[in-house]
Structure 1
Amino acid sequence: MPGKYQAYPEYNHSGVEWLGKIPRDWKVLRGKFVFSEYGERSEFGDEILLSVSEYYGVKPRGDVIDEGDFLSRAESLVGYKKCKKNDLVMNIMLAWKCGLGVTKYDGIVSPAYSVFRFNEKASPDYMHYLLRTDIYTGHFKTRSTGVIDSRLRLYPDSFADVSLLLPPVTEQNSIANFLDHETAKIDTLIEKQQQLIKLLKEKRQAVISHAVTKGLNPNVSMRDSGVEWLGEVPEHWVVAQLKFNTVEMQTGPFGSQLHAEDYIDDGIPLVNPAHMADGKIVPDSKVSVDEETWHRLKRHQLFEGDLIFARRGELGRCAIVTKDQEGWLCGTGSLKAKLNDRLVPEYSYLLITSDGVVSELSLESKGSTMDNLNTETLGRVRLPVPPIDEQRKVLDYVNDVSGKFRNLIDKASAAIELMKERRTALISAAVTGKIDVRHHASHPAGSANTMMEHNNDF
């Protein structure tokens, strides 16, 4: 096929089962002949602090510890390991999850990391691509010690025994240059799709917010609502505080009423803020209680149609209780509200998660370090209350519009996943010698388009 990547003219077996055949002029050497470990420590801890991530490799992180990083914030960085540009930095606990990469910065990393420096046999840029491929990270897992994934460690001695694919150094540089060029193009395409998704979500939210606060009839008479964020509303709508449209509002049990030792696996679920996503409750089987504890806390049980709110952190986060979730418990970090018959739960959810209500909640909320919601604050929030039949018509409209936006967002998300898969496949094929990119490396223009046009090149 014209433009399709070609294989190398000749292959030999690598002598390593998991590597298979490789181009004739390539070599396989164990890591200890290609790099050495360095353990120089920082004397003052004033160098740039670097982070290793499975997503981006090595980048500066300042004094902020990434969420999910096993390190905690350190008071002093004295004694951290020093690294230089083109060194390989590896988180030994996450090497099998792509937790390694070649740094483009001088800096320091956690003492728990390992730092390696390449000799003249290896191009650092090529090694960065090679060691982050699925074939290598999968091999790292087999060489790691530990019983469960969260405790696996790839120790330096074992890493130094890994077989490395080594084309001639000039060819390593050609492959790396080619991949830099091609992945940059793909990343640009991915970024455009991500921006499209962001715009679609913003547009969807704007359409929904307009529908639930202004109605569907553009010709209806309007009046001032008296609420700054709400502006004008249809003349026949009521504007009222939420507390006048609820039967009951109640916070979850205090911490003294529920302790960590009360939790069991696969019991009756408690619903905390972490268990609310996109208006739905997603329980955690480990955050649940037995029947005895349930009876003690049954005044906090949930019923179909209740709204449950996050009391701390992300204000406006809430979910609607379904029939299947009746009897579950409102958690300590949550607050529940039972609506009267003037508000449809789904309509209330759309209002409460709108930007205007979230902003008002934030202004009204109590707490010096983070927003904190209580029944009084929530009850004071003023909402537009159309007649029930209009609420249902708005919900039908919103469901239709949301479906159309969801289809567009799903298509963009699928395009991103496809591009990521092709990016991964291109890198793997190039660094393992499945395709010969030497000619493309010297004439890179247009080759990304070729890659995107042919699904089965790799």
Structure 2
Amino acid sequence: MKYKGYSSYNNRNIPWAEKIPSHWQIKQLTRFCKGIGSGTTPIKDIKDGLIEGSIPWVLTGDLNDDELKECQHLITDNTLNKYSALKVYPSNSIVVAMYGATIGKVSLLKFPATVNQACCVLPPSNQYESKFIFYTFIAMREFLLSLAMGGAQSNINITTIKSLSFPFPSKPEQHLIYKFLDEKINPINLLIDKHLKLITLLEEKRNVLILNSITKGLEPNKSMKYSGLRLLGDIPKHWKLKSLSLLLRTKKGSRSNKLTKEFCSKNKGPYPVYSGQTENNGIMASINQYEFEVNKEGVILSTTVGEKAMSVRRIQGRFSLSQNCMIISSKDNSCLMSYLEYCLKGIFQLEKDRIPKYIKPSFRKEDFQQIKIPVPPIKEQKDIVTFLNKKILPIDELIKLSKLLILKLEDKKSSLIFLATTGQITPFHNTKT
């Protein structure tokens, strides 16, 4: 599908857009949007269990690159009055994520709400169409990511957002552009939502398979005993329950703070650098040196901070570790690493599910040492691994396929948004040619 553009363009001083239509303006955000702000996390009230109220409190995890019609958390009037940094923003405000893995995620509020400190809020105004500016934030996401600063967790701040320059057509034209995008993008969003729901169902099925196998075993009608832990319930009578501090050791990279993206780009080579990210199998980059050398039995790589904390995968070979991750290795021969990979996936997910969504997950050595896992005999461990490999492979393939389709749909969506909000295509002539 090909769309028509405008009749004339000028090269303008916008870092993320090479040209815009000649009749459009360029405006810095603060010239047309007033009252830009943020929020906070009422830590004391959270600890005291006093935040379950009626006032919506939006976190970056709620942001969906779409209209936001509900959020997970509510605060009380008392909390709102107690914390001066909390403010109720009106419906039709734009919320932009500033921290970590969610940088640049954006939503258009469809209800009045407060936010935490990781969100920047642009209140609505009669100076512009909120939906057009919302779409423009999506168009400039890669540029926003390039502005992020920080070590363990990259961030942008309100000052950075206030300094942004926007292509600025007339308000009636903004209206036409966002209506055009709504028409084209809503069907794409429906397809994306369909595949996201499928992924959620498949992941739930996978988690149930893993948990049942590592806590109940594969043999029916066996004698059971109470594990002593509510999370695990009953386990086979002949299995042991062991503390991770007795079974396993953890280690972080000794040079993790030095292995930045800049360092890696200057020292490219064949050896992977693992980090706290979960994309690309956890590999941030590859360099010409390594810190660890592990045989084919492998070790477990675990993320330690952020939304993906406690994600695990087995790795081997020569590699280094950047920040926000650690490796887990065995102290003895009582557990196969292949069994531990499945076991830790299941147990860590149970532990993570206990963390409230408004708290940033972290995985400390002290947390690790307190966790206990079921340890069956080695033969049963092998049988469990064989069973799970067979059952989970097709599930993982379906998840992989759905994620690939989502990526293609997101690319199509992003391209349309960029072209429309920078004037490369016009809503006045949007018929097929």
1:110-150 per-position Cα deviation (integer Å, ceiling 9, x unaligned)? 367544345444111100000222x35515743x6x54373
2:377 is the alignment partner of 1:339: yes
Cα 1:154–1:189 change in 2 (3 A) is: same
Cα 1:263–1:164 change in 2 (3 A) is: closer
Aligned residue for 2:143? 138
Q: Describe the SS at the equivalent of 1:61.
A: coil
- TM superposition shift of 1:166: 1.1
Aligned residue for 1:417? 407
- TM superposition shift of 1:40: 11
Contact residue 14 and residue 166 of structure 2 kept, 8 A: no
1:301-346 per-position Cα deviation (integer Å, ceiling 9, x unaligned)? 65547844459565699xxxxxxxxxxxx95524363625xx4534
Aligned residue for 2:3? 5
Aligned residue for 1:128? 134
CA–CA separation in structure 2 for the residues paired with 1:253 and 1:159: 45
2:181 is the alignment partner of 1:179: yes
Contact residue 31 and residue 162 of structure 1 kept, 8 A: yes
Q: Gaps spanning 5+ residues in structure 2: where?
A: 41-50, 225-234, 255-290, 304-308, 353-367
- TM superposition shift of 1:347: 2.3
CA–CA separation in structure 1 for the residues paired with 2:350 and 2:120: 41
Aligned residue for 1:152? 155
Pairs within 5 Å for 1:46-445: 47-53=55-61, 55-56=64-65, 60-63=70-73, 76-78=79-81, 79=84, 80-93=86-99, 97-110=103-116, 113-133=119-139, 135=140, 138-139=143-144, 141-142=146-147, 146-148=149-151, 150=153, 152-156=155-159, 158-197=160-199, 226=221, 242=236, 244=238, 250-253=242-245, 265=254, 277=312, 280=314, 287=326, 298=331, 300=332, 304=336, 307-308=339-340, 309-310=343-344, 314=349, 332-335=370-373, 337=375, 339=377, 343=379, 345-349=381-385, 399=390, 407-440=397-430
Q: Which amino acid aligns with 1:251?
A: S
CA–CA separation in structure 2 for the residues paired with 1:159 and 1:47: 26
CA–CA separation in structure 1 for the residues paired with 2:376 and 2:177: 63
Q: Which amino acid aligns with 1:252?
A: L
CA–CA separation in structure 1 for the residues paired with 2:162 and 2:210: 57
Cα 1:346–1:424 change in 2 (3 A) is: farther
- TM superposition shift of 1:93: 4.4
CA–CA separation in structure 1 for the residues paired with 2:88 and 2:21: 36
Q: Which amino acid aligns with 1:347?
A: D
CA–CA separation in structure 1 for the residues paired with 2:77 and 2:300: 34
Aligned residue for 2:229? none
Q: Which amino acid aligns with 2:377?
A: L
- TM superposition shift of 1:249: 6.2
Q: Which amino acid aligns with 2:419?
A: A
Cα 1:108–1:412 change in 2 (3 A) is: closer
Contact residue 48 and residue 106 of structure 1 kept, 8 A: yes
Cα 1:251–1:208 change in 2 (3 A) is: closer
1:6-64 per-position Cα deviation (integer Å, ceiling 9, x unaligned)? 2222212224454322112211122222111256999x996332334553465643536
Q: Describe the SS at the equivalent of 1:6.
A: coil
Larger mean CA deviation between 146-155 and 118-127 belongs to 146-155
Identity of aligned residues (%): 18
1:239-286 per-position Cα deviation (integer Å, ceiling 9, x unaligned)? xx8455x7x76433379x99x9x97746897888976758x5799955
- Tell me the number of residue pairs that the alignment of Structure 1 and Structure 2 aligns: 335
Contact residue 140 and residue 154 of structure 1 kept, 8 A: no
Contact residue 124 and residue 130 of structure 2 kept, 8 A: yes
Q: Describe the SS at the equivalent of 1:172.
A: helix
TM-score by length of 2: 0.58
Contact residue 90 and residue 101 of structure 1 kept, 8 A: yes
Contact residue 135 and residue 417 of structure 2 kept, 8 A: yes
Contact residue 25 and residue 168 of structure 2 kept, 8 A: yes
CA–CA separation in structure 2 for the residues paired with 1:314 and 1:208: 11
- TM superposition shift of 1:225: 5.8
Cα 1:9–1:150 change in 2 (3 A) is: same
What is the root-mean-square deviation in Å for CA atoms of aligned residues? 5.3
Q: Describe the SS at the equivalent of 1:184.
A: helix
2:28 is the alignment partner of 1:30: yes
Contact residue 55 and residue 74 of structure 2 kept, 8 A: no
CA–CA separation in structure 1 for the residues paired with 2:393 and 2:423: 44
1:88-122 per-position Cα deviation (integer Å, ceiling 9, x unaligned)? 33455469921444422222223675443454441
Query: Computing the radius of gyration over CA atoms, which structure comes out larger, 1 or 2?
Result: 1
Cα 1:199–1:307 change in 2 (3 A) is: closer
Aligned residue for 2:364? none
CA–CA separation in structure 1 for the residues paired with 2:334 and 2:138: 47
